[in-house]
Structures are given as C-alpha cells and as structure tokens.
C-alpha cells in the first residue's frame, strides 16, 4: 500500500460575519475554533476547499 500524502491545515480567521458556505467549508475541513489544526489527506477536493477560504486557513505543513 502506498502512503497517502497529508497536509496540516490551521484555522487563522474567525467565521463570525462570514457567509454560511464559508462556515460550512471550515466545518467540512474539521475546523471550528481559532488556531485549531487538522491533518488531512492531500486530495484535489481538500485543496479546493482550502482555496475557497484562504483568508481563514493556512497550510502549516505538507
């Protein structure tokens, strides 16, 4: 089995006063509190979610 590449994503912005779709994207990434980090599999779907809200998240490690 090949090992899947992962990325670490950190929430750096607050979802307060943001559109519902942006809040839903944060929840979809598993983030809901400031400075929380998640390790996610590096897929085009995850990258698209990150690109949708670059002002709220930051890629910490790849």
pLDDT at 2: 55
Of 20, 15, 54, 57, the closest CA to residue 38 belongs to 57
| Rounded to 5°, angle at Cα 6 from 29 and 38 | 35
pLDDT at 32: 93
Q: Which residues pair with 11 in a beta bridge?
A: 57
Per-domain residue ranges of the chain: 4-59
Of 23, 27, 17, 59, the closest CA to residue 42 belongs to 59
pLDDT tens digits, one per residue of 2-56: 578 999 999 999 999 999 999 999 999 999 999 999 999 999 999 999 999 999 9
Superfamily of domain 4-59: Ribosomal protein L30/L7 (3.30.1390.20)
Q: Model confidence at 62, in pLDDT bands (50, 70, 90)?
A: confident
How many residues are recorded in the chain? 62
The label of the residue with tokens 């790849």 reads: 62
């Amino acid at each position: 089995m090949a090992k899947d590449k992962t990325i670490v994503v950190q929430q750096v912005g607050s979802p307060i006063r943001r559109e519902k779709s942006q809040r839903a994207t944060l929840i979809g990434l598993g983030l809901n509190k400031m400075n929380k980090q998640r390790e996610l599999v590096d897929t085009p779907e995850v990258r698209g979610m990150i690109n949708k809200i670059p002002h709220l998240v930051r890629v910490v490690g790849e």
